[in-house]
Structure 1
Amino acid sequence: MKTLSRALVLGGVMMASGLMTTTAMAQSQPNGGAPLTIQAVTERPSLNLSAYGEVKAAPDMATISFGVVTEAATAAEAMQQNATRMTQVMAALRRAGINERDVQTSGLNLSAQYDYVQNEPPKLRGYQANNRVTVIINDLDRVGTTADAVVAAGVNQIDGISFGLKDPSAAENEARRLAVRNLQAKAALYSDALGTPLGSIRSLSEGGGYAPQPPMPMYAARAMSMDAGASTPVAAGELTIRIDITGVYDLNR
């Protein structure tokens, strides 16, 4: 009986194995037809290139950041002195023709000031109030005179000046056209060098664009000039607008 049982078990395993093999063959040969032929798909050769377009433009606006810093024995006194001088500065800006919407408070700080002597604990000297303002000037002819006006009114720190464009879209679009022309020329050059006809463009992506200049140091406070009637000279120069693009072109066989 044991011998018969073992024979039955072994036979069952062999039948199962045969069934699994047959099933696998049936899957590889559906309906008993010819075996399926799988061909590897070869991607069309392509060129992945980058180029840029760059234009120069004269700025038509400026941004100045400045501040009023005051020190006093008490915090209240430092803030009061600062408020008085900043009120005078705001009035000077209005007289200079600056619109209220173009004036923004960018920082307000009050801090204790200490004197430090070696081997001695810090000694409180007083308090410092710092009120900072950012101003947009839409008439570049007024940049120097506006800076002088706020210094005369009480500003004793000027962080910097930057120039920009009110509407950079025209300059950006021209830079885009130049970038595409340069990309097309580069693709044609590669195609000719490879001796392979250039196909259509598969994709195009853009980077870069207009970005306002970071503020450049101007001066801490205007020194007395020999010519009292002269205003601070300011040169706007030119801005560079650059557009970077990347394109993928097909190469025809």
Structure 2
Amino acid sequence: MPRSIATLLFLSVLAGATPVLAQPGGTPMQLPRTISVPGSGSVTGTPDKAQVRLTVQKTNPSMEKARAEAVVVVQRFLALTKKLGIPEAKVRTTSAMVNPEYRWDQPTSRQVLVGYSVQREFEVEVNDLDKLGALVEGAVDAGVNHVAPPVLDSTKRRELNRQALAAAARDAEANARAIADTLGVKLGSLRELTAGGAEPPRPPMPMAMMKATMAEAADAGGAATYTPGSLTFDATVNASFDIVSP
């Protein structure tokens, strides 16, 4: 839009006048007077499920021995999930790899095979967060090499996202009314609205907190417990409202 037209539109809103542009042939064309504003909203929810990623890795000069050692740990871990009452459908293997391990031999200037690394990766969905501590602590006791920080989520995510969108829409209307009142004009109907919402953040549990909690639990002779905190669901909208002629 040419700068002169943009200036005309801006001044017309301030003055309460309807901007008029000339169409080809000289016919006047009235442009709608509008107020365009953003809106934002957020709601919080309590997480009620978690995703946990775990890795089992064993290295041995013999591929068969490395595989056998990994299988022992995997079997212990699967027995743990069964003991905790986690359904088999919630435990899945995401990766299974066997990689040769080499070292560089300086005298011969070549790589020398020294063994094999067998790796298994799992993902577990925990729908009872009271079991999360026992799962993490038990996995380490079973020989699992790495437990990633749990990723928390909510089964009510869609509902909470909608609540955040509703809050954003109300915020946009309040912003538009504030502008209209300041300019001394009357706010009309909604002309256009676009909504955008990001996925809710999934704050992982810091490893330092996990280790400290596990240490406290070990001193107390019990399983680790975790405080999941809360999730924040954010949403934004952009709205355009008509200005009603006096």
- Coarse TM-score class (shorter-chain normalised): 0.7 to 0.9
CA deviation vs aligned residue, 1:3-43 (integer Å, no higher than 9, x gap): xxxxxxxxxxxxxxxxxxxxxxxxxxxxxxxxx96414232
- Check conservation: 1:151, 1:222, Cα contact below 8 A: no
The question of 1:162 aligning with 2:154 is answered no
In structure 2, the gaps of 5 or more residues are 1-23
Kindly provide the amino acid, as one letter, of the partner of residue 55 in structure 2.
G
Give the aligned length.
217
Paired with 1:42 and 1:129, the residues of 2 have a C-alpha distance of 73
Cα gap change, 1:73/1:40 in structure 2, threshold over 3 Å: closer, same or farther?
farther
Percent of aligned positions that are identical: 27
Q: Please, which moves more after superposition, 154-163 or 168-177?
A: 168-177
| Superposition TM-score, scaled by structure 2 size | 0.78
**Equivalent of residue 33 in structure 2, options 45, 65, 68:** 45
Deviation at 1:99, TM superposition (A): 0.8
Name the residue aligned to 2:53: 65
Q: Say which SS state the counterpart of residue 232 (structure 1) adopts.
A: coil
Deviation at 1:215, TM superposition (A): 4.7
Deviation at 1:202, TM superposition (A): 0.8
In structure 1, the gaps of 5 or more residues are 1-35
Name the residue aligned to 2:222: 230
- CA RMSD of superposed structures (Å): 2.6
The question of 1:211 aligning with 2:200 is answered yes
CA deviation vs aligned residue, 1:118-150 (integer Å, no higher than 9, x gap): 674233221111101111111111110111122
Q: Decide which structure has greater strand share.
A: 2
**Equivalent of residue 83 in structure 2, options 81, 86, 95:** 95
- Check conservation: 1:206, 1:244, Cα contact below 8 A: yes
Name the residue aligned to 2:120: 131
Kindly provide the amino acid, as one letter, of the partner of residue 84 in structure 1.
V
Which protein shows a greater Rg? Answer: 1
Name the residue aligned to 1:196: 185
| Superposition TM-score, scaled by structure 1 size | 0.76
Kindly provide the amino acid, as one letter, of the partner of residue 71 in structure 2.
A
